[in-house]
Chains A and B, each alone.
Chain A
Amino acid sequence: MKLIDIDVWQEIFNTIRKNKLRTILTGFSVAVGIFMLVILLGSSRGLKNGVENTFSTEASNSMTVSGWRTTKAYKGQNSGRRIRVNKKDFRSLGKRIEQIEAIAGRTYIPGDESISYKTQFGSFTARPVHAAYKNLIKYTLLKGRMMNTEDEKELRKIAVIEDKVEESLFKGEDPIGKYIEINNTKFKVVGVYKSAGQNEGNRGTIYIPITVGELLYNTKGDMLEIGFTLGNVTLGASMKIEDKVQSLLAKSHNFDPEDKSALWIDNNIEQTKDFVQTFGAIESGIWFIGVFTLILGVIGVFNIMLIVVKERTKEIGVRKALGATPYSIVRLILLESIFITAVSGYVGLIMGVGVLELVGRFDIIAKLSSDVAMFFIDPQVDMGVAITATIILVITGAIAGFIPARKAAKIKPVDALRDE
């Protein structure tokens, strides 16, 4: 098919020029279809980014286990007993669950924490953790380093602080190598990190080696929480691991394996899968709406092309009398249809992407409502979607033009030339 044929295009432009309003209105419906599709997809992406960022401060393939309270009497034990996970559990989980990649425990500092640097005081959370705990959280290291196993073994009194802590205690001073006091014990700051999520309630967290915590605060091997990351496991596998954790700990702590309240198991894989599924559903809903909007636009083009053919019946008859083949007539109508849909669709695409870009660049949502902005980050449509949409447009343009074009090709010159 000879596409770059100046005569064909000249004729297409001529008809378009002759019917500006009609062409613009037709194109408008297609442009709106694509525009809406882009805006909707972009918004859903923004919402997804926002929710992901807000709610997932933990690694998406992790699981945490902490003790809770039994609700069933078991083997002479009363119900309502407090369960606390401990060092023994930490070791047995690490050994018995082979899918575990990294495992870390967290203890606590009894009583109130008083944390200070020179004359500055603040109320923060100090957490004695294993070095591997960094695998369980989402963070960015800003300065210095995270904790390592050497710190644990050598009982180093070091601390890794969150950027919020740095801000309120150090006031612009470089914290690395400086000493902060936690309940009157000095800890050397070795690193500053930034937490990935937006946790508004948290004033700042400080991590110290778990061994140091045990020594200083005499927690007797009790742990607040044991967390671990799993390799690439399926949702089903992660549920089985939950069950295994439950039965292992039921045995060691002597509670009913069916008693789900004895432990608090937080399965991030489950949450992530839920999340992915929810957004998958939202996204397919959006495609559904978008595609139907598009179909309306295409029907518009189809309709107009039928009218175009009807209006040009006589002209087509003349062309045929002069030697136009059916093929050349089909090409004429088809290319016009594709041209209108492709150009207007492209306009809609550019406008949609432009609006998303503006919203992103100037933080328009944040200016309108900061609450909403928290859940709406970086609304964008990836180029793949945009290109798919354009290809869909050209195809739909061809479909919309095909039936009218066939109709045109079937016009008999005799019928067309009758002088009425």
Chain B
Amino acid sequence: MKEGFRQAMAWLHTWAGLIFGWLLFAIFLTGTLAYFKDEISHWMQPEIPARSVTSEASLTVAQHYLQQHAAGASRWLIDLPDAREPGLSVRWQQTPTKRGERGQFTEKLLDPQTGAEVQGRETTGGEFFYRFHFQLQMPYPWGRWLSTIAAMVMFVALISGIITHKKIFKDFFTFRPRKGQRSWLDGHNAVGVLVLPFHLMITYSSLVIFMSMVMPASILASYNGDVRAFFDDVFPQSATPELSGKPATLAPMAPLLDRAREQWSGGNVGRLTVNNPGDANASVVLVRDSADRVVHDFGSAVTFNGVTGQLLGSTPAQSLPRAIAGSFYGLHMGRFADPVLRWLYFICGLAGTAMIGTGLVIWLGKRQLKHVKSGVMPFELRLVEVLNIASMSGLMIAVAAFFWANRVLPVAMAGRADWEVNSFFIVWGLSVLHAMFRRGRAAWVEQLALAALLFGAVPLLNAVTTPYHLGMTLARGDWAMAGFDLTCLGSGVFFAWAAWKMQRAGQVETVARQRVQPIGLEQEAR
């Protein structure tokens, strides 16, 4: 390969990585957290108990509740609990007063064991990270566009990074710690190369997920600009049978679960939709749980008559192009992953975050070297430094603040969920200010230490503010709750270590500078 080409790629990698690095760091970190979004939501709504009941039992409970409270509704939606989402959610839509209008939805959470209503505290939970990951808290569709552009830049940075890296195989196992810049570059290369399959998959699949938004040309051309017609073709609506007007009692729905499983040769039901309950033409649509298979199927469902139990129809098998798109979607979301694989996803996500973070540190470190002696940094380097600190350690503090707000804000507070999100952004903003007013290394050390304190104290905070402390959750085997506490504790220890490392590296640097100075003075004296 020509050196000129490689240099051009190195230039591209450097600048594409810098400009989008801060945003990509936040996208990667929140995306990584979103792999545990159900567990995070569970921790943030501790009032909702985790029960181990069968789908049949929870469906019977839901049906009983809905027949008592929403007999006249035009539609019921039931989301069955699973190992990760403990709540049994029922929603119903009132019959619209005028034709063509949408009826109003009511949502309730039930305890799948007793059937009693459960009131969880108001929170966005893990959904916040999931949404931020691709919407960036911006109005539709700007956030999606920005995150998609970031994904494209990420893809460019990955490819140009592979081309720039001369010795992928020779340095495959190389990591040399305690060597300053060398170590940072080794670390950047190691997490980049070793976890490359994940990086490529996650970046490419994110473009596939938004393909109809990013590259609509083929759709617009084939459908004469009518995008809705395309979506109607891709996601056919199941035709709802007309109201017969004759009342009839809905048969127990629990046996339908087994019949749906037969249809899918052993898949699980995630959601049920009951159209026109209480009518002779009631229909029950059972939608397959997306956690069943690696290849995501957009709405694989079977429909039964709700009164007679007759099979009315099922969605056709996936076509190959849809299966390919579905497999990218499924791989990106990782909903199929069991706890062990989910942790591996999480580790890979952290590796991606670390790759971006080390890249940003290297960019600055290389350029800072020139200014070590004078101790004065030009404005642009100082800007990068402030953004580095705020986008990395500041973001960590903001995440911790989000969790703290969930426990500290009063449960009955109005607009509570919004204030949790607000505290995330307020703290993130404060971290920018702090980074501006403190010298680089001091800002790093202080912010990392604060992150260590906040994360490390989460189990304590949880024990003080709720009855669900570690001793109890561990004994009860509530692994989502206990795992959250322990992971926060682990992150706290990690940040404490990072702060200590940073502090010590700073001391070594000052000692080195002091040693350099006398020689300089002597030379001047001569």
Asked if A and B are interacting partners, one says no
